[in-house]
Chain A
């Protein structure tokens, strides 16, 4: 049913989502940690900026990114002066744009899980002579595994479904920037409904399987924190 070009788009989409999710989990962790712990005045504005992609139309995001990364934009000029390839219509550009687009879907679950962790597990670890980095890997990470799973699934799924930003910044180059959503649009544009059905059905099935897996995991592991009393 699915053509070879469809499979190329599927492969590209998953490759993009894997990169974006991986990078966001790493880079989103310190940001989410800071948001969960800070008393700073900056918490509100920064949290708002992180949440912005939830509200803005993807085309707005894509437009600004295009202006920023295009040959006339500051990032584009910097890249040019370093002799690097331009970001628009490249896979790297797509990764960067998708990271911004999916940022809240990764940062917010992480922030929630860090907030619900409380101070106590970290204090306990400190009294057991664990330094800050040791505390993160031996206590925070394992106790936050559910939050990480949620963040990864949401970030991945959301990246797979993106369309507007890709169209603005990536265009429609098979094998480089043509992701599933864009390819479905192509099929519809060319009135190739059977191909559009097939690819859309694939997406529906994928989304359903992922969400069922996530919810059943969350039911089996209700809370990684049940052993901790709340500190007063």
Chain B
């Protein structure tokens, strides 16, 4: 394959008084999350890409195939895609195995037994294949639906809030499977969600949508370090950082993660030296000080320079972005503290990080 894979989407679609209008180019690999609140048009976008809805005007190109152009429209069944719906979508008259066979029979290429086995193993379905869909839990059904979408051997996997219909425990049951999928399969995914947590854990590239328009599109870490997006108007928002395990402190069971000019200590969960990890630092878990405190319990204390200030969701709060070496970390503090510390762009500060979440 000489051309790098890519996804081009130009869409203009109106339903009643809702207008979807976007023009984005996306990388043809990894997971692209489409993030936004309900009603922002993210599901409609996905349905248009799949051809389940016909956009009024569109140019949809996946790799070198045009799925919809000025005068051409490829029907859904002619597009090389897999689709995972929000709610259970297994054929209720077929066993799990027959549901999977449905895809295998219709896949454009024959399915190697090794591929079949590896997908069963990847999604933990071995014990389930003889069951009927109504004998499965919500999480199991979704895993079967994902496996079925993979077995069609698509060029692009579309996922429409695959975890949204599941309760908290079931989400936690399915998420690790999605993380493994992302790690072990080369298939590009377009993943629609309104969960910051899913975005932080799965996405490489992020599109933020609001009222049918794209507010931002870019690499996850870049988009997450922007203050002007509605991403930061929530309690669970924070930067996502990527780094590498540099060394370990065996005595205290900690691992040192190096990231562009600075490092953070995290709990050692049996990492290998050199392993790359993804961390998340929530803005509400970062506090700022003007001098280095040596008599505190903070494990991670970094120094940096205030880079940008932005109002937060509540008038008592403010978001402060701090440049630390080559990286950016966002803190959420009170307006009063900001006045008290006389913070402004360019101020030198110490960041005290209460917790660092390892998300990959």
Contact = CB atoms under 8 A, between A and B. Distances in A.
Contacts of A225: 92
Contact of B88 (A131, A145, A224, A228): A228
A229 B76 contact: no
A52 B93 CA distance: 35
A42 to B, nearest CB: 23
> Most chain-B CB neighbours within 10 Å: which of A138, A225, A227?
A227
A128 B92 contact: no
Contact of B91 (A129, A131, A227, A229): A227
A218 to B, nearest CB: 16
Contacts of A130: 77, 102, 106
Interface in A138-187: 138-139, 142-143, 145
A125 B83 CA distance: 10
Contact of A129 (B89, B90, B108): B108
B106 to A, nearest CB: 4
Nearest to A223: B92
A139 B106 contact: no
B88 A129 contact: no
Interface string A203-232: 000000000000000000000111111000
Interface in B178-204: none
Contacts of A123: 52, 76, 83, 85
B259 interface: no
Given A128-B102, A130-B77, A229-B87, A224 B92 contact: yes
A190 interface: no
Nearest to A131: B77
Interface residues of A, number: 24
Contact of B106 (A120, A128, A224): A128
B148 interface: yes
A143 B134 CA distance: 14
A127 B107 contact: no
Contacts of B51: 126
B219 interface: no
B330 interface: no
Nearest to A123: B52
B76 A226 contact: no
A21 B78 CA distance: 36
Nearest to B106: A129
A231 B207 CA distance: 25
Given A123-B52, A143-B93, A227-B133, A128 B148 contact: yes
A93 to B, nearest CB: 39
B163 to A, nearest CB: 14
B44 to A, nearest CB: 12
A120 B47 CA distance: 12
Q: Which of A124, A130, A134 has the most CB of B within 10 A?
A: A124
B206 to A, nearest CB: 24
Contacts of B78: 129
A139 B52 contact: no
B165 A229 contact: yes
Interface string B96-109: 00000011001110
Contacts of B304: none
Nearest to A132: B77
Given A138-B102, A143-B93, A227-B133, A126 B52 contact: yes
Given A120-B85, A127-B82, A128-B106, A142 B76 contact: no
Contacts of A22: none
A221 B194 CA distance: 38
A23 B31 CA distance: 51
A226 B83 CA distance: 21
A126 B76 contact: yes
B8 to A, nearest CB: 21
B75 interface: yes
B152 interface: yes
A130 B92 CA distance: 17
A226 B81 CA distance: 26
A124 B93 contact: no
B11 interface: no
A134 B77 CA distance: 10
Contacts of B245: none
B240 interface: no
Contacts of A125: 77, 91, 102
Contacts of A124: 83, 85, 89, 91
A139 B102 CA distance: 10
B149 interface: yes
Given A121-B91, A227-B133, A228-B92, A127 B76 contact: yes
Nearest to A141: B93
Contacts of B81: 127
Interface of B: 50-52, 75-78, 81-83, 85-93, 102-103, 106-108, 132-134, 148-149, 152, 165
Given A227-B90, A227-B91, 12 more contacts: A120-B85, A121-B91, A123-B85, A124-B83, A124-B85, A124-B89, A127-B50, A127-B81, A128-B103, A128-B149, A128-B152, A227-B88
Interface of A: 120-121, 123-131, 134-135, 138-139, 142-143, 145, 224-229
What are the 5 closest A-B residue pairs judged by CB atoms, nearest first? Answer: A227-B92, A229-B87, A127-B83, A126-B76, A227-B133
6 contacts: A126-B52, A127-B50, A127-B82, A128-B148, A138-B102, A228-B92
